[in-house]
């Protein structure tokens, strides 16, 4: 089952386009972006306090989170997220 916070809030909100560069600020660093035909893999180093904000911002983009993994990376966490692009209906 895929997690989509926007689905919980209804489809009333308009989603923005996705750019991996949108996720590099305020305690979050873009480590890697590997695009694929249907989405891609986003890897970030982030402070623990920034993790909820990452998922909130993803919920506002035209992607769904298929899977994610977190592991320690020094004083931060390395967050790897598998994304799926939403297709226009």
The pTM of the full predicted model, rounded to 2 decimals, is 0.79
Instruction: Determine, yes or no, domain membership for 35.
Output: no
CA–CA separation, 55 vs 30, rounded Å? 14
In this predicted structure, the answer to whether residue 75 has a pLDDT above a threshold of 70 is yes
Please state the domain count of the chain. 1
In this predicted structure, the answer to whether residue 7 has a pLDDT above a threshold of 90 is no
Closest CA to 44 of 24, 30, 62: 30
Element (H, E) at 60: none
Instruction: Determine, yes or no, domain membership for 6.
Output: no
**Where in the sequence is the domain holding 68, given as residue range(s)?**
41-89
Instruction: Determine, yes or no, domain membership for 56.
Output: yes
CA–CA separation, 25 vs 2, rounded Å? 26
Average pLDDT over residues 53-60: 95
Instruction: Determine, yes or no, domain membership for 69.
Output: yes
Instruction: Determine, yes or no, domain membership for 31.
Output: no
Instruction: Determine, yes or no, domain membership for 10.
Output: no
Average pLDDT over residues 12-41: 90
pLDDT of residue 87: 73
Instruction: Determine, yes or no, domain membership for 15.
Output: no
pLDDT digits over 37-55, tens only?
A: 999 999 999 999 999 999 9
Instruction: Determine, yes or no, domain membership for 22.
Output: no
Average pLDDT over residues 53-65: 95
């Amino acid at each position: 089952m895929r997690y989509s916070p926007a689905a919980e809030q209804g489809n009333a909100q308009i989603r923005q386009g996705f750019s991996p560069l949108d996720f590099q600020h305020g305690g979050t660093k873009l480590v890697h972006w590997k695009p694929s035909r249907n989405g891609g893999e986003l890897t970030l180093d982030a402070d623990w306090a920034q993790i909820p904000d990452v998922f909130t911002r993803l919920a506002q983009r035209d992607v769904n989170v298929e899977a994610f993994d977190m592991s320690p990376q020094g004083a931060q966490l390395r967050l790897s997220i598998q994304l799926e692009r939403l297709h226009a209906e």
